[in-house]
Chain A
Amino acid sequence: MADNAIYYDASKCTGCKGCQINCKQWNRLPSPLEQPEWTGSYESPKENSGNTWLRITFNEVAGNDDDGIGWAFGRNACQHCTDAACAKVCPAGAYYHTAEGSVALDTSKCVGCQFCATACPYHIPHFNDNDGRSRKCWMCQDRIANGLKPACVTTCPTLALQFGTREEMLEKAKARVAEIKPIRPDAMVYGENEMDGLHVIQVLPYGAEAHGMPLNPKENILEQAERWLQPLTVLGVLGISAVAVASFIGGRHFSQAEALKHAYPEDYGRPDEVVVEEMVIEDGRDA
């Protein structure tokens, strides 16, 4: 099986959202019926969710003298990281790397803990209230396993979205960046090395951040700290248990009676025969 990747060229994207809709259709993801509030942006919805796995983001950026304002479209969906943070933190092993290059989620295994959502540097997995499990793009694993392209790719009218081996997609992206660099000096290829290599290779004409992508994506620092805490907890428990064992050995032959003689010499510290003698005297007095 080939190590595949989705190619997204933001310089060719027109923000038509055809990919967004086709993703919903192929994966049977419902859309809410209520009218969204007008926010002044064509970006809709404003967030990914358990039912929206792919979203085109709209960002206005300053263009050059010829075009004034430019659109920095972004493709907000799973990046299918080689070093996938979601797969590392999932307690149920629901995330897995496929032979085709995607990071898929077996929802039948998902326990709905949402740990994946906090670990992901792209904030991609989302909780689905309907079934209490997380959801995200799976690169249409059912399609690519049968030789088809992901649903989003098939609908792109400008060929901004393409699909192929990761190597080919990287080459294509580098060539495109070289082509647009004279008019877009911030243009860059995104996905070659991020998170040990993504399986979504992007051409971002205005630089990563303008298109909503983090420049140096990293797994949530608290998740990394938690990974340190796991062996520390085991070591802590073993260490304190070793102290308890040493204490237990030191406590052999302990006698509370002896200790009480020290604490209460008047009650416990005298020899028995003296106490008996005193009791006899007391009895004699009573008599």
Chain B
Amino acid sequence: MAQYIKRHDALARLNHWIFAICGLGLGIGGAFMFFPFLRELVSPEFLRAQMTLHRILGALFVAVPLISWIIRPSNFIHTFKNIFAKWNKDDLEFMKKFVPYLFNPKKQHMPKQGFIKSGQRISDAVMYFLIFIFMITGVLMWIGMPNIPEWLFSLSKFGHVMSFFGWSILMVVHIYLGAGIFQPYRGSARYVFGDGYASAEDAKYHWGHWADDELASCENVKEM
């Protein structure tokens, strides 16, 4: 009998599904507005439809997590408590070792981690910040001129594309690590796209402190 620990509940996983689908649609659609070489491949009708879809997906992208946080505020508290948790010695060591680990995980042994690894805490903080900028600037651009002044529209547009720049790079990292393309992270997509459980071995390897606590309490542990 192997032990499994629950990482994400159904609501959090549904959120991630919606985030992933909307994020992909928003990124691809936005790229057609942003890159001149992509604009030339499509018709104005496509762009017009894309703009409508972009607004629908944008609204979902923002509304779904907000609603789910209202339904279950504990998820909101849990998310931000972890992101802004105080850094300990292991966290600092993790960050020091992360780059060598990325290129040679066989030789580099990482310190134990809490529910969210230190690197991911930085990445999540940046991601939420970018989502916030996307949201504010997107809404302002949707309102449009003459309802908002031209300088604000212009600033919003620039903020939106700056966020897109950061988002594009962040998403490559997120997909490489999160989808488990990086060998040590193999199978990690299951935690958010699958049943939400991590095997005890995986949990101990990735989030040692969290796994030790969970295995000791047995609250979220099941045996299969």
A interface, CB within 8 angstroms of B: 47, 49, 91-94, 108-115, 117-118, 123, 126-127, 220, 222-223, 225-226, 229-230, 232-234, 236-237, 240-241, 243-244, 246-248, 250-256, 258-260, 262-264, 267
Contact = CB atoms under 8 A, between A and B. Distances in A.
A247 B158 contact: no
Nearest to B202: A256
Contacts of A109: 44
A91 B32 CA distance: 8
Given A91-B47, A222-B158, A233 B33 contact: no
A247 B109 contact: no
B36 A233 contact: no
A110 B181 contact: no
B176 A256 contact: no
Interface in B158-186: 158, 161-162, 164-165, 168-169, 172-173, 176, 181-184
B14 interface: no
Contacts of B154: 118, 220, 222-223
Contacts of B176: 244, 247-248
B102 interface: yes
Contacts of A258: 106
A240 B169 contact: yes
B168 A263 contact: no
Interface centre among B40, B106, B184 (most CB of A within 10 A): B106
Interface of B (DSSP majority class): helix
Nearest to B34: A230
Interface stretch (B69-77, B122-130, B145-153): B145-153
Given A92-B39, A93-B44, A118-B157, A123 B150 contact: yes
Interface centre among A113, A244, A247 (most CB of B within 10 A): A247
Contact of B201 (A114, A234, A253, A256): A256
Interface string B185-224: 0000000000000000110110010000000000000000
A259 B205 contact: yes
A93 B39 CA distance: 8
Interface extent on B, as a size class?
35 or more
B102 A250 contact: yes
A127 B147 CA distance: 11
Contacts of B44: 92-94, 108-111
B104 interface: yes
21 contacts: A91-B33, A92-B39, A108-B44, A111-B47, A111-B48, A115-B157, A118-B150, A223-B154, A229-B162, A230-B34, A233-B34, A244-B176, A244-B181, A250-B104, A250-B105, A251-B182, A254-B183, A256-B205, A258-B106, A259-B109, A260-B205
Contacts of A248: 176, 181-183
B103 A263 contact: no
A100 B162 CA distance: 38
